[in-house]
């Protein structure tokens, strides 16, 4: 599940001092293994608080001096709210558990398990009980390989109470909590014209929603081994995007926007954000020209409003494969791609996945 060839190529040797610059998708375990050392040694050498890494972070390797080599060029720094805080963790039956120290509403995150028996652990999020989420508190088995495993979590939009996690191994149980902050977005009143909002009353909508629910309920093995990539080349999302609370008609109920909108010309190729299997491909009343890809591990990506869908149900796609073209079909007021990345059916911020193997 981890690209080890890239790890070796990125090894910097300057004046006998070896250092390594963290790339998207790297894990401490994989870096340690690729350089013939251990997580413990790297943790001590670099004064790390946990196993979470930041892309671009310089790590000292055993026998090395200070990692003073400038990092190779990389993408622009993330806005502050997307920077990973110091992770926190616990230990159970020889397995290390690492989680983010804090989360934001609508964020996907991972609980990392490292150690020889990590694959045997099960994870639950009991704080989901009573939340408006699909299959709350499901017993989850980790995805991964070679001593480092992850379980993806989700913070549903509208939630600001802490995430509680439980890890069980050999009859022992460890419980922890992660605080959650809100997004502070003002409600946007769209006041859609009747010809567009009328779509919400379309009787075929029920069948469309039921089909999408089936996709969310799938539990297949993790299908990807490379970081997630954008669905459109160079497209910039609109400012009112993921997590935006909205009313669609004057006085209507508030609904959260579970995706990110990328305005683009009709016909612009839409590409799979990662490897997976197409589970929905067709034209529907609300979502318009729709493709849903099951990436495994409970992760699905959805692409709405396309003018043309160029894949079929059951087809395997690779990251970057064209799946359709941008359009303005379904509940849409102009050409754009609406992209969703869901964890066990709940919308998570796509920005947290881009250029990463897993969100933080
Ligand atoms: Zn949208």
- Condensed to tens digits (0 to 9), the pLDDT of residues 101-158 reads 999 999 999 999 999 899 999 999 999 999 989 999 999 999 987 778 999 999 988 8
| 244 Cα–ligand 1 center, Å | 10
Residue 76 clears pLDDT 50, i.e. is over it:
no
Q: With beta carbons less than 8 A apart as the criterion, state whether 257 and 185 touch.
A: no
Please give the average per-residue pLDDT across 250-279, as a whole number: 92
Residues 302 and 210 in one domain: yes
| 11 Cα–ligand 1 center, Å | 41
Domain annotation covers residue 91: yes
Comparing C-alpha atoms, which of 237, 308, 298 is closest to residue 270? 308
Q: Cβ neighbours of residue 30 under 8 Å, at least 6 residues apart?
A: 2, 4, 7, 146, 148
Domain annotation covers residue 360: no
Burial of 83 (0-12, 13-18, 19+ CB in 10 A): exposed
Comparing C-alpha atoms, which of 150, 151, 153 is closest to residue 133? 153
CATH code: domain of residue 15: 3.10.350.10
Q: What is the DSSP string of 269-314?
A: EEE-SSSEEEEEEEEETTTEEEEEEEEETTEEEEEEEESEE---TT
CATH code: domain of residue 101: 2.60.40.1930
Residue 28 clears pLDDT 50, i.e. is over it:
yes
Residue 213 clears pLDDT 80, i.e. is over it:
yes
| Rg of the chain over all Cα atoms, to the nearest angstrom | 21
Residue 12 clears pLDDT 70, i.e. is over it:
no
Residues 211 and 342 in one domain: yes
| 40 Cα–ligand 1 center, Å | 44
Please give the average per-residue pLDDT across 83-107, as a whole number: 83
| 123 Cα–ligand 1 center, Å | 32
Mean pLDDT of the chain: 81
Phi, psi of 101 (to 5 degrees): -75, -25
The residue among 125, 147, 181 that closes a domain is 181
The residue among 181, 202, 230 that closes a domain is 181
Distance CA 330, CA 320 (A): 24
Would you place residue 14 in the very low, low, confident or very high pLDDT band (cuts 50, 70, 90)?
very low
Q: With beta carbons less than 8 A apart as the criterion, state whether 262 and 231 touch.
A: yes
DSSP structure class, residue 261: E
Continuous segment of H or E residues that includes residue 206: helix 205-216
Percent of the chain with pLDDT over 90: 54
| 152 Cα–ligand 1 center, Å | 23
Residues 302 and 240 in one domain: yes
The residue among 124, 149, 181 that closes a domain is 181
pLDDT value, residue 16: 26
If one counts the domains in the chain, the total is 3
Domain annotation covers residue 136: yes
Residues 254 and 335 in one domain: yes
| 287 Cα–ligand 1 center, Å | 9
Distance CA 236, CA 334 (A): 15
Residues 219 and 171 in one domain: no
Comparing C-alpha atoms, which of 227, 222, 224, 223 is closest to residue 25? 227
Domain annotation covers residue 70: no
**Domain residue limits at 32:** 5-60
| 333 Cα–ligand 1 center, Å | 10
Domain annotation covers residue 164: yes
Domain annotation covers residue 123: yes
Lowest mean pLDDT among 21-35, 164-178, 189-203: 21-35
CA angle 324/196/240 to nearest 5° reads 70
CATH code: domain of residue 328: 2.70.70.10
| 212 Cα–ligand 1 center, Å | 16
Burial of 68 (0-12, 13-18, 19+ CB in 10 A): exposed
Residue 30 clears pLDDT 70, i.e. is over it:
no
| 5 Cα–ligand 1 center, Å | 38
Residues 45 and 88 in one domain: no
Phi, psi of 286 (to 5 degrees): -90, -50
- Per-residue pLDDT reduced to its tens digit, 215-251: 999 999 999 999 999 999 877 777 558 888 888 778 8
Would you place residue 287 in the very low, low, confident or very high pLDDT band (cuts 50, 70, 90)?
very high
| 84 Cα–ligand 1 center, Å | 26
Would you place residue 331 in the very low, low, confident or very high pLDDT band (cuts 50, 70, 90)?
confident
| 187 Cα–ligand 1 center, Å | 15
């Amino acid at each position: 599940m981890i690209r080890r060839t890239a790890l070796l190529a990125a090894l910097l040797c300057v004046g006998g001092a070896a250092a390594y610059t963290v790339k998207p998708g790297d894990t401490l375990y994989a870096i340690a293994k690729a350089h013939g050392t251990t997580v413990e040694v790297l943790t001590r050498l670099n004064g790390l608080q946990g196993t979470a890494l930041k892309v671009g972070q310089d790590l000292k390797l055993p026998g090395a001096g200070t990692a003073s080599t400038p990092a190779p060029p990389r993408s622009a720094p993330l806005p502050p709210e997307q920077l990973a805080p110091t992770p926190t963790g616990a230990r159970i039956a020889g397995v290390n558990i690492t989680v983010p120290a804090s989360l934001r509403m609508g964020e996907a995150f991972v609980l990392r398990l490292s150690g020889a028996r990590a694959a045997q652990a099960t994870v639950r999020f009991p704080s989901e009980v009573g939340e408006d989420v699909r299959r709350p508190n499901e017993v989850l088995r980790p995805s991964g390989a070679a001593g480092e495993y992850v379980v993806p979590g989700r913070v549903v939009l509208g939630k600001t109470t802490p995430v509680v996690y439980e890890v069980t191994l050999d009859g022992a149980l460890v419980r922890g909590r992660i605080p959650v902050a809100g997004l502070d977005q003002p409600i946007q009143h769209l006041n859609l014209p009747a010809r567009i909002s009328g779509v919400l009353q379309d009787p075929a909508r029920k069948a469309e929603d039921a089909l999408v629910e089936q996709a969310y309920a799938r539990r297949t093995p993790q299908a990807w081994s490379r970081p997630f990539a954008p669905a459109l080349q160079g497209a910039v999302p609109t400012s009112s995007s993921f997590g935006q609370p909205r009313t669609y008609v004057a006085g209507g109920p508030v609904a959260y926007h579970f995706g990110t909108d990328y305005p683009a010309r009709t016909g612009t190729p839409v590409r799979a954000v990662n490897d997976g299997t197409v589970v929905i491909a067709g034209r529907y009343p609300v979502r318009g020209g729709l493709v849903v890809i099951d990436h495994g591990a409970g992760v699905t990506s959805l692409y709405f409003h396309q003018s043309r869908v160029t894949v079929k149900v059951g087809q395997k796609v690779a990251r970057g494969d064209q799946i359709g073209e941008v359009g303005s079909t379904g509940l849409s007021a102009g050409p754009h791609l609406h992209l969703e990345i869901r964890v066990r059916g709940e919308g998570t911020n796509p920005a947290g996945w881009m250029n990463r193997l897993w969100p933080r």
